[in-house]
Amino acid sequence: MPSILFINRVYPPDSGATGRVLEHIASGFVSAGWAVTVLATANTRESIGQDVSNGIRIVRIGIPFSKKNLIFRALGYALMIPALLMKALQLPRHDVVVTKTDPPMLMVIGPLLKVLKGSRTMHWAQDLYPEVAEEVGVFRKGGTMARCIRLLSTISLRYYDAIISVGRCMTDRLKVRGVSPNKIRVIPNVGIERTIVPSPRLPNRLRERYQWGNSFLVMYSGNMGRAHEFATILDSALMLQESGESDILFLFVGEGPMAGNLRLEVERRGLNNVQFIESQPEAELSVSLGAADLHLVTMRSGMEGLVVPSKFYGVVATGRHCLFVGPENAEVARVIREQGVGAVIPVGDPSRLTEAILGYRLGINSGKGFSQGGIRYLEAVNARSDFIQYAGELCRTGSISLS
């Protein structure tokens, strides 16, 4: 029986998109007959240790970690990497070891495990550092710290047997880093949206609870983070409010580092057509996302290839159209154009966004608000099968095929 070890900071029931997509892939390996171990950190002292869930052996270590500020977060990340490495060295040898990108720079332990344990190694790149930190202002672009981290991460990436990227734009970034194209394969983060199904906009429990009636809901659902663009949305909301379009409501669902600033800006501008509600339970996502007539996914300029918003695939699963406010060559933008599931709006162009919203409202009123293209796209992507195929090839041949 082949064996595989996944290493990531979080794993369910702890929250985090990287943990949820890992659970989806790991369960596929179990079904394919692999012995699967996940090494993660413990959210509470009680969860430190080992457990088996759905055939997956879960090993959790205790590391102090806080998100209170960047200093505490950076310190926690710095402690995690050697701690995860030491625990991985204590575990039995696995045929394949997969590192993810939470915490940042986790990839540095892959080459060490390859040499010390003799395992084949895969790096599952959810984002790229230090570029992400540079773009959001944590590191100065081209500064000494950024250059040192980039050099270390690039050297580490080149020693892996295979790299999994979550988008074609990320693959382009990896190639610029000097990673061999023969090692890179694209596997989108498709799968965690599998519990989301299309649901009618009316009747809808969420609309009833908040008394939105038949308003045209433009929804942003998910983390409100530093990588996301919000100014264009608020500018569009102001334009629509000033033009008297009172039946259009912008709805932000969730929290995140930028949520507080976003609320303050909405209040400052006096936007009556913007509302905020708390994150909805996972079991209610079909109802929550289905309440919207139109969805928003955003990305700051310069972030293309560094992250791919996984919330996009949940939106696609609802059958609703998506407006992507972000770089035109980002993975989300490419899928929207290829599958015809929405429109791409340049950052800083609220007029285009406003025009698109009004156009889709007219489509909803004429009975043309549902898209099958995105659902067919999700059905055609089999992330589990591709991942298992590549890991199996590594076990057999030490490389992955070009097919």
What pLDDT band is residue 79 in, cutting at 50, 70 and 90? Answer: confident
Peptide bond into 13 cis (omega under 30): yes
DSSP-assigned letters across all residues of 274-319: EEEEPPPPGGGHHHHHHT-SEEEEE--TT-BTTB--THHHHHHHHT
The residue assigned the tokens 């070009």 is 402
Tell me the pLDDT tens digit for each residue of 225-246.
999 999 999 999 999 999 999 9
Whole-model pTM: value is: 0.91
What pLDDT, on a 0 to 100 scale, did the predictor assign at position 366?
47
Instruction: Report pLDDT digits (tens) over 291-301.
Output: 999 999 999 99
Q: Which domains does the chain have, with CATH numbers?
A: 3-190+381-397 (3.40.50.2000), 205-379 (3.40.50.2000)
Residue 365 pLDDT exceeds 60? no
Q: Indicate the pLDDT class of residue 176, thresholds 50, 70 and 90.
A: very high
- Distances in Å between the Cα of 147 and the Cα atoms of 73, 156, 173, 304, 326 are 21, 14, 16, 20, 26
Q: Are 323 and 295 in contact (CB under 8 A)?
A: yes
Examine the pLDDT at 63 and tell me if it is beyond 80: no
For the packed helices 383-397 and 17-31, what is the interaxial angle rounded to 10 degrees? 60
At residue 200 the predicted structure's pLDDT band, cuts being 50, 70 and 90, is confident
How many Å apart are CA 38 and CA 331, to the nearest integer? 28
Over range 10-26, report the average pLDDT.
90
Question: Among residues of the chain, what percentage have pLDDT more than 70?
Answer: 94
Question: Which segment of 5-19, 195-209, 242-256, 355-369 scores lowest on mean pLDDT?
Answer: 355-369
Average pLDDT value for residue range 150-167: 95
